[in-house]
A and B are shown apart, each in its own frame.
Chain A
Amino acid sequence: MSKALAMQGASIDFVVPYRAEHPQIDFMTIHSATELTPLERYGLGAYDSKAVIDAKLSDADINDLKDMRGVQKRYVKFVENLVTVSVPDAIHAHDWLTMEAGIRAKELTNAPLIVHVHATEFDRSGSEMGNPLVHEIEQQGLMMADRIIAVSNITKSIIMQKYGISEDKIEVVHNAIDVTDFNDGYQYDLRTYAYLEALKDEGYTIVSTITRFTVQKGLTHFMKAAARASEKYDKFAFLLAGSGEQRDELIALAAELGIADKVFFTGFVRGKQWRDAYSVVMSSVSEPFGLTALEAAHHDNALIITKQSGVGEVLKSIFRYDFWDIERLADQMVGIAASPALQQSLKQNVHQEYDRISWHDVATKCLNIYNSTLAGATL
């Protein structure tokens, strides 16, 4: 998205919380707020808020870079310095990790703050509140924001309902994908797939899901639907790619439902293996967007996506269902397996659709939001 923004004339100072070389990136200025390596950054658990220590920023140790709060404090300091040197026209902050820095930059510069919401604590935790500290940071960031960009209507309604933000402050800008990102050195795992290949040769339909195995992904519903679908159609194989806390529970559930021989756990893999599936299911209970669905579309799959997943708002050539509606999902799986015309139509049409969604359009919408916010701002 940054690249698309730059191509449309925006000048970007991009602050990352780690030390990194980005030799291919010449369209914006990248600033490193810390000397952490990207690997260490992942160890902080930015996307797993349960690992976050409950600390006010003022209590955090700015020198403790093993602690997320320490990194965030350093990040804020860095941004404070940066905005005094290079005063921005607009501040674009993403999610709770950088909201505090965004608020601080706004205080110092009076520039409008645009908060881009890719996921809320509500989505990450799958429960009402999640981590109260994260929720509070989000609440503050959303309230201080001049404009909010949500990645889907689902996210927009969560921001309205769970955070009490008024509708007119929120714009929906859906994500896009860059297909050139998909060549990621994928290794074909012959041990797992030799068997699936054999099943395919015998006319089996492979239904896969690629995700973290957590409650919010709705995989127990998926598994029950798999069992229900198998009552009506014999030749199914279900491939669960990923890992997570629910893995053992799901293995046990498959056995309990009597479909253990049809279910394959492959660990986390990306990219090309989807080419070998027929249908990909996104069973999330709450999914702000779900870029993996666009990736699956790129690899010629028929998609079944819950109505609670944002990506479903931008694709028409898909099946949708409510995450709890096991019968509906099972019916759709059987339909795809039993009707070649349906399967082909879904695959071909979604393939034509997904790459019309471009980052260029996303950037245009963001620039419009910057400009309209600047024009309307009372400074």
Chain B
Amino acid sequence: MSKRGIVLYLHVHQPFRVRQYSVFDTANKHDYFAEPNYDNDRNNERVLRKVADKSYRPMNSLLEKLLVQYPDFKVSLSITGTFLEQAEMWAPDVIESFRRMVATGRVEIVSETYYHSLAFFYSRQEFERQVEMHRTKIRELFGTETKVFRNTELAYNNELGKWAEGYGFKGILAEGWDPILEWRSPNTVYRPAGTENISLLLKNYHLSDDLAFRFSNKSWTEWPLTADKYNSWVNASAGDQPLVNLFMDYETFGEHQWADTGIFDFFDAFVGDWLKDDSNTFYTVSEAIEAIPPVGELSMPNTVTWADTERDLTAWLGNSMQQEALRHLYALEHDVMRTDDLELIADWRKLQTSDHVYYMCTKWFTDGDVHAYFSPYESPYDAFLFYINAVRDIRWRLHHYHGTGSLNG
């Protein structure tokens, strides 16, 4: 019998935010992502430097310390291409520390779309190109091959499970959502419906969200959360199951939960507490899949994500602005690709990052607080307006290139 293991998986991402790009910039300037005011929250350099100081540097130090201190400590990371490009420009030391971590052999990089896009739902071809771009980038920077896939926003359905198997992945990640699991536990390994050679790992959202969303919430009845208390919850949840999958944004540590909430000390202490018990360990995603055979098949015909109370795509594609924005963007695919203009193609792809449509979300009255927190725009309507002006500019550039095509829409 193998040990009970925590699969700690952290998602590292920053989008290229669109500046206040007006209709008067369309067809004149193509600098959608270059907010001139450094103090603005849409200034990508400022945000990256800020989050590097608050989150990436202190958390990487802690992770490196834990890797030295505990031979059983393991982490899995997904790091988007848009993050890596920005870190290469403005915080190269952060990439260096990720490289040191990967070099220990106990830190695994998870595959995903380079641009953190929802391309799977719009263009299979473009989706695969972005997965390949990401694999190449990870190979170049870290010298490793990715084996387990996660889709943007953990958006998963049976079709994606089958695709991942066909593409050669050993595993795939998804949300452990109660209506799907029913009586079953998220603390083990499943097989995606209709597949034979791929495993499915499910996020334990109760325990993950205790850290990601509730840790510093003073009106939460369990506040303050101590390492001791949390360790007892994780042990209780694991019970006689083999795994506890803690999946969350990397920026939980230091950015969503600030250092002064005690999140770093908490996590340091918790890892120690968990490993005090000899029957406990950590697994990377691949190790978990190697160690534990699937207990059964799990079917998710409809797309499930890790967001909001609905766990669907409505935060990204729920309103007509979001649908129109992506419909217009993906309609340009063929004309964009045939330009062979790398800069134009990259601009088009940066606009595919899911954060852009997330900023257009209007689910104010239930999930509004979370959305408001993450948006650098005054309103979802502003987010849409600047974005659609940029899409029109891409269209204008294509018109210029090919001398054909319509400027409508």
Spell out A's residues near B (CB within 8 Å). Answer: 228, 232, 316-320, 327-328, 330-332, 334-335, 338-342, 344-346, 349
Contact = CB atoms under 8 A, between A and B. Distances in A.
Interface stretch (B66-74, B178-186, B377-385): B377-385
B302 interface: no
Given A317-B379, A330-B24, 6 more contacts: A232-B24, A316-B379, A317-B364, A341-B323, A342-B321, A345-B319
B23 A335 contact: yes
Nearest to B360: A345
17 contacts: A317-B379, A318-B379, A318-B381, A319-B379, A319-B381, A320-B379, A330-B22, A331-B22, A331-B389, A332-B385, A335-B385, A335-B389, A339-B321, A341-B319, A341-B324, A341-B384, A346-B381
B59 interface: no
Interface string B295-335: 00000000000000000000000011101110000000000
Contacts of A340: 324
A102 B323 CA distance: 56
A339 B384 contact: yes
Contacts, number: 66
Interface string B187-228: 000000000000000000000000000000000000000000
Interface in B372-409: 378-379, 381-382, 384-385, 388-389
Contact of A334 (B23, B324, B325, B379): B23
Interface of B: prevailing SS: helix
Contacts of A341: 319-321, 323-325, 384
Nearest to B24: A327
A331 B381 contact: no
Interface of B: 22-24, 319-321, 323-325, 362, 364, 378-379, 381-382, 384-385, 388-389
Given A342-B385, A349-B362, A331 B24 contact: yes
B362 to A, nearest CB: 6
Contacts of B362: 317, 345, 349
A332 B379 CA distance: 12
Given A331-B23, A335-B385, A345 B379 contact: no
Nearest to A335: B385
A320 B385 contact: no
B58 to A, nearest CB: 35
Contacts of B378: 320
Given A316-B364, A319-B379, A320-B378, A342 B22 contact: no
10 smallest beta-carbon distances between A and B, as pairs = A341-B324, A331-B22, A341-B320, A335-B385, A334-B23, A341-B321, A331-B23, A232-B23, A345-B321, A342-B384
A330 B25 CA distance: 12
Contacts of B325: 341
Contacts of A320: 378-379
A357 to B, nearest CB: 13
A344 B381 CA distance: 11
A346 B381 CA distance: 8
B182 to A, nearest CB: 35
A228 B388 CA distance: 19
A339 B22 contact: no
Contact of B381 (A232, A317, A327, A338): A317
Contacts of A349: 362
A328 B379 CA distance: 14
Contact of B324 (A228, A330, A339): A339
Contacts of A342: 321, 324, 381, 384-385, 388
A335 B325 CA distance: 12
A341 B360 CA distance: 12
Contacts of B379: 316-320
Contacts of A331: 22-24, 385, 389
A328 B22 contact: yes
Nearest to A320: B378
B23 A345 contact: no
Contacts of B381: 317-319, 335, 342, 345-346
Contacts of B385: 319, 331-332, 335, 339, 342
B208 to A, nearest CB: 30
A260 to B, nearest CB: 23
